[in-house]
Amino acid sequence: MDGLTHSLLGLTAAKAGLERWSPYTAAVCVLSANAPDIDVVSGFFGDRWTVLQYHRGITHSIVGTLTLGLLIPSIFWAMERAIAKWRRQRPRIRYRGLLLASLIAAATHPLMDWTNNYGVRPLLPWNGRWVYGDLVFIVDPYIWLALGGAAFLLTSNRWPKIVAWSVLGCVMTLFIFLAPVQRAIGPVNLIVVRIIWGIGILSITFGRMIGLEKRLGKLIPRIVLIFVVCYWGALAGTHQAALRDASQLANQISSARGEQFIRAAAMPTVANPFRWLCVAETDRAMYRFFVGVGPGAFSNDLTTVVEGKRANSLNAIERYEKPSAHAEEIESLASHDRRAQILLGFSRFPIARVESDNCIGQTLVQFADLRYTEPGASRGNFSVDIPVECPAP
């Protein structure tokens, strides 16, 4: 998930009751909830491929999370004791309470990251296997709204804080209302998101005006945390339905083309729990398409695949053929490139396309992870073009 979501969850958890365990708990929870993303500093010691290689690595594992959860409160404890000794005051931190709160907040980070399709590697350094929850898109405005509303109501007790929260709210509102219509969202659903966001902002503002935080207190963040868990549960149900439909459609496709179905995945799209991006693999190709779940669900047009056509509609099924035997030899040569090795180690649905498998001299091999892009498309670290010398005939 994004840094804002992690910060809001850490702050909400603190306000839900963890801050009773020790002073400075709110600050420690926010830091611990974000700490695993410290792995992005690897970019200062390499390039963007270094970041892809190490992001969501050891710091997101069980060992790394426990270490960070222990380290942050220990630093706070040591610093406060040093300052208290210098000022000849009594230390205020209750270390056990602060440590427990930090460990809880740190644990929320890999848990939140697991819920999306980017994945985590919890068993590093012993096992580098990726695991994926496939429930929530990497940014979710509904979670922003819930956690942000609770955190605002419980912390906006002074004008500087009210101003800071207002600026953040305005920035996020502009983001929601000025966001372009993406293929995965659709114009109708984007309107729904904007309506829900607007109603939510107005409701939070009204709640602050009538002093809702004074009436309900810590019940607010607790209700919000329960809502997030229930939201995940609802998404888990729709995900299973989407995965079932995706597998059925992939089996139909593979049967129609005489291919052997291998696997399929249904992955969340931004702000639309009823529309899922699906990737399916057969022995000869990979397919990418959307499936709908619930009211207004749609069916894909199987004929666009069977007849080898590619429709321009939102429901089109895209086919990516795997390299031929000769092209695989060229692909193998390209896979020795450092960038390709990192991308292939990260990719969940890697696909390669050889520009010309009957080449003389040099050709281009395009690698991509179909979760995010396709061969030949430029999108950050999720695709790469590798020039290679053609093997001798």
Give 47-72 pLDDT, tens digit per residue.
989 999 999 999 999 999 999 999 99
Give the three-class secondary structure for 369: strand
> Same structural domain for residues 346 and 278?
no
> Same structural domain for residues 250 and 266?
yes
> Is residue 216 included in any domain, yes or no?
no
Q: What's residue 297's pLDDT?
A: 55
> Is residue 141 included in any domain, yes or no?
no
Q: Which two tokens mark 178?
A: 């000025």
φ and ψ at 289, to 5 degrees? Answer: -160, 170
> Same structural domain for residues 341 and 317?
no
On the question of pLDDT at 181 being above 80, the answer is no
- 218-229 as b/e: b if 16+ CB within 10 A: eebbbebbeebe
Q: Is pTM, for the whole model, over 0.85?
A: yes
> Is residue 158 included in any domain, yes or no?
no
> Is residue 163 included in any domain, yes or no?
no
Q: What's residue 304's pLDDT?
A: 46
> Same structural domain for residues 307 and 357?
no
On the question of pLDDT at 89 being above 60, the answer is yes
> Same structural domain for residues 315 and 329?
no
Residue pair 138/118 in contact by the 8 Å Cβ criterion = yes
Q: Give the chain's mean pLDDT.
A: 89
> Same structural domain for residues 260 and 280?
yes
Domain that holds residue 372: 325-389
Q: Give me the helix-helix angle, 62-87 and 25-34, nearest 10°.
A: 150
Q: What's residue 379's pLDDT?
A: 65
| Residue that is last in its domain, among 272, 297, 321 | 321
> Same structural domain for residues 357 and 244?
no
Number of domains in the chain: 3
| Residue that is last in its domain, among 271, 288, 321 | 321
For the chain, the straight-line distance linking the first and the last C-alpha, in angstroms and rounded, comes to: 48
Q: What's residue 301's pLDDT?
A: 46
Give the burial class of 116: count Cβ atoms within 10 A of its Cβ; 0-12 exposed, 13-18 middle, 19 or more buried.
buried
> Same structural domain for residues 316 and 353?
no
Residue pair 58/39 in contact by the 8 Å Cβ criterion = yes
| Residue that is last in its domain, among 89, 104, 120 | 120
Bridge partners of residue 289, in order along the sequence: 278
Span 119-129, mean pLDDT? 95
Q: What's residue 312's pLDDT?
A: 39
> Is residue 60 included in any domain, yes or no?
yes
> Same structural domain for residues 315 and 337?
no
Q: What is the CA radius of gyration of the chain?
A: 24
> Same structural domain for residues 74 and 99?
yes
> Same structural domain for residues 314 and 332?
no
Q: What's residue 357's pLDDT?
A: 64
Spell out the long-range contacts of 362-369 with Cβ–Cβ below 8 A and sequence spacing 24 or more: 362/387, 362/388, 362/389, 362/390, 363/330, 363/387, 363/388, 363/390, 364/388, 365/330, 365/331, 365/333, 365/334, 365/340, 367/334, 367/335, 367/340, 367/343, 369/343
pLDDT in tens, 258-306: 999 999 999 999 888 989 999 999 999 999 999 988 755 544 544 444 4
Amino acid (one-letter) located at 371: R
On the question of pLDDT at 178 being above 90, the answer is no
Instruction: Lowest mean pLDDT of 85-99, 141-155, 307-321, 328-342, name the range.
Output: 307-321
> Is residue 176 included in any domain, yes or no?
no
> Is residue 213 included in any domain, yes or no?
no
φ and ψ at 273, to 5 degrees? Answer: -70, -5
φ and ψ at 196, to 5 degrees? Answer: -60, -40
Rounded Cα distance, 308 and 328, in Å: 23
> Is residue 215 included in any domain, yes or no?
no
> Same structural domain for residues 263 and 375?
no
